[in-house]
Amino acid sequence: MNQPGVPAGQDRRVTMYRNGSIYTAADPFATALVVDGDTVAWVGSEQAATSIADSSMEVIDLRGALLAPGFVDSHAHLTETGLALSGLQLSGVRSATELLDAVASASGTGTVLGHGWDETTWHDSTLPGLEEIDRAAAGRPVYLSRIDVHSALVSSSLAAAAGLDGLDGFSGTARVVRAAHTAARLTARKFPEHERRGYQEAALQDAASHGYVALAEMSAPHICGSEDLRMATSWNEDWNRPEVLPYWGELATSEAHAQSILDSLGTRVLGLAGDLNIDGSIGSRTAALVNDYSDAPGQRGSLYLSVDDATKHLVATSLLGVQAGFHVIGDAGLGAVLDALDAAAAEVGEQRLRAAGHRLEHVEMADQSAIDRLAKYSVSVSVQPGFDAAWGQPGGLYEQRLGGRSQTMNPFASFYASGVPIAFGSDSPVTPLRPWSSVRACLEHSNPEQRISARAAFLGHTRAGWRATKHRNPLMGQLVPGAPASFAVWEVDELMVQVADSRVQSWSTDPRARTPLLPALDTGGDPRCLQTVREGHELFAHESLRV
């Protein structure tokens, strides 16, 4: 190729996509795109594509499909996702009896692993006991994670192997939380390297088949060992997989300690952030609350780290110029983090604190004053729209656990309005790797005041995911000439502009507004992924793409 604006090289593959819709800020009416090697070389009209096409290119006829920036999941767990894909699927069980039947039907001879039970959806929320699980499993060890993965059901054999007696969170029943859950999970995760690799590969393949070009891996000592993290980052040597953006959630007490943690990991990470737990989850009643759980008077969850702990961690990482971050869900947990931010700023200065680009995961309960404090320190927030879709509806988990407070959960619109940078993820396997369902959840938030437009949600699932990692290339997540060629192709029924409230921004549906179009998400299904490409490397292709 020797056409202006389309640099060519004999050792690089050039591909033209045409006859579709290209989601790009360069030209909202673009129908064609050229990839030269790993870079977007040109975007434009069908007429222009005809004039520059030549026999050296592979030409892919999109046949009306949408080509858009690839998705970035800002919070995922590869091994856990692979385990959930291959183990017992428990999200559909509706009673203890059905759960026990699933355990009894498990094939194999090793530990029975399952994921996804949620007693708030059961006809009778009574959990099975140790003896019942032992009988169903015929003596095999059992670990069954709750949907939020902050508690689990275990067998007596697994409890013995994990040494649960005397640990906080084990009361002699099958359900384990807090320290007992950590011990049970780590024991259940003792499997050979080839099995771990298989689980991670399954997760990455699932992600690629749904249009993801990158996932933030939120590793932590209480979830897995550092060997799991090293394996996760090793996938980045294989360009045929989504990029893994690694974080390690281990508490640092000083600058030197933080550096020693980073040096000991045996792999590079983006920060000491992610699932460094300030608190737990709403579903397991371990999220730290200011007031009691509505369905459990006297219970306010668990605060795993003190303000002093969090302050030291923020100071240490800020001095190194690396990201810190915490898993925080409850309002009391968030209050502790905000107090720690104030204390850290007093010690190292606001400018240095902001420059480190710290991030928080989840932040489900935040009032306006808390949001303003997050904005002050330029803290990015990684949120999960699937949480609201699963639990935010009337009568759902949030209302059961929190009563009227459930109406203020996951304040996406308030974050945006106050200038808090937000990126979206799944927390897979808590919610599945289904990006368009996540975008739809933003449009259909259970609280109409917190709904955002499809465009804002899409940017939060793409470009914002890169920015939350402090990625140095400002073009990541965009399809403009010179940007990395990371995108997905989607079979769509209809393209449109969708806003959170039809009474506002009606101008955006006018072609003169030059607003790129996205799939209509009110059709009852998600667009089908036809291809996923990461910096010019094909990760996934549906059989119909080149027919």
pLDDT value at residue 497: 75
CA dihedral over 281, 285, 286, 287, signed as positive or negative:
positive
Label residue 475 exposed, middle or buried (CB < 10 Å: 0-12, 13-18, 19+): middle
Please list, in sequence order, all residues whose beta carbon lies within 8 angstroms of the beta carbon of residue 253, skipping any fewer than 6 positions away.
Answer: 312, 313, 316
User: Is there a cis peptide before residue 429, judged by omega within 30 degrees of 0?
Assistant: yes
Among residues 163, 153, 166, 147, the alpha carbon closest in space to that of 92 is found at: 147
pLDDT value at residue 522: 83
pLDDT value at residue 318: 98
Query: Rounded to whole angstroms, how far apart are CA atoms 324 and 377?
Result: 13
- Yes or no: say if 437 and 389 are a contact pair by the CB < 8 Å rule: yes
Among residues 157, 279, 276, 273, the alpha carbon closest in space to that of 222 is found at: 276
- Yes or no: say if 269 and 249 are a contact pair by the CB < 8 Å rule: no
Please list, in sequence order, all residues whose beta carbon lies within 8 angstroms of the beta carbon of residue 17, skipping any fewer than 6 positions away.
Answer: 32, 33, 34, 35, 60, 62, 67, 489
pTM of the model: 0.93
**And the tokens for 200?**
């991670």
Query: Rounded to whole angstroms, how far apart are CA atoms 365 and 373?
Result: 14
pLDDT value at residue 523: 77
**And the tokens for 245?**
């953006």
What is the gyration radius of the CA atoms in the chain, in angstroms? Answer: 24
Sheet holding 243-248: strands in order across? 71-76, 212-219, 243-248
Query: DSSP readout, 202-221?
Result: HHHHHHHTTTEEEEEEEE-T
CA dihedral over 372, 374, 376, 379, signed as positive or negative:
negative
Going from the N-terminus, what domains does the chain have, and what CATH number goes with each?
14-70+477-492+527-541 (2.30.40.10), 75-185 (3.10.310.70), 193-467 (3.20.20.140)
Angle at the Cα of 168 (from 86 to 334), degrees rounded to 5?
A: 80
If you ran DSSP here, which 8-state letter would residue 170 be given?
-
Given the structure tokens 């996923």, which residue do they identify?
A: 532
**How many other C-beta atoms are found inside a 10 Å radius of the C-beta of residue 288?**
24
pLDDT value at residue 4: 37
pLDDT value at residue 511: 46
Taking the mean position of all CA atoms in its chain, how far away is CA 217? 8
CA dihedral over 303, 309, 311, 317, signed as positive or negative:
negative
Q: Give a three-class secondary structure readout of 284-325.
A: CCCCCCCCCECCECCCCCCCCCCHHHHHHHHHHHHHHCCEEE
CA 425 to each of CA 100, 315, 439: distance values in angstroms, whole numbers, following the listed order: 32, 27, 10
Given the structure tokens 């997760």, which residue do they identify?
A: 203
The H or E element containing residue 229 is helix 226-234
Residue pLDDT, tens place only, 457-516: 999 999 999 999 999 999 999 999 999 999 999 999 888 777 766 434 433 444 445 678
Residue pLDDT, tens place only, 97-145: 999 999 999 998 899 999 999 999 999 999 999 999 999 999 999 999 9
Q: What is the β-pairing status of strands 422-424 and 380-383?
A: parallel
Amino acid letter at 516?
P
Low-confidence ranges of the chain (pLDDT < 50): 1-10, 502-512
- Yes or no: say if 151 and 179 are a contact pair by the CB < 8 Å rule: no
pLDDT value at residue 12: 77
CA within 13 Å, CB half, 422: 27
Among residues 506, 496, 397, the alpha carbon closest in space to that of 455 is found at: 496
Query: Rounded to whole angstroms, how far apart are CA atoms 265 and 247?
Result: 11
Query: DSSP readout, 232-279?
Result: HHHGGG-TTSPEEEEEE----SSHHHHHHHHHHSSS--SEE-SS-BSS
CA within 13 Å, CB half, 84: 26
The 3-state DSSP class for residue 223 equals coil
Query: Rounded to whole angstroms, how far apart are CA atoms 274 and 458?
Result: 22
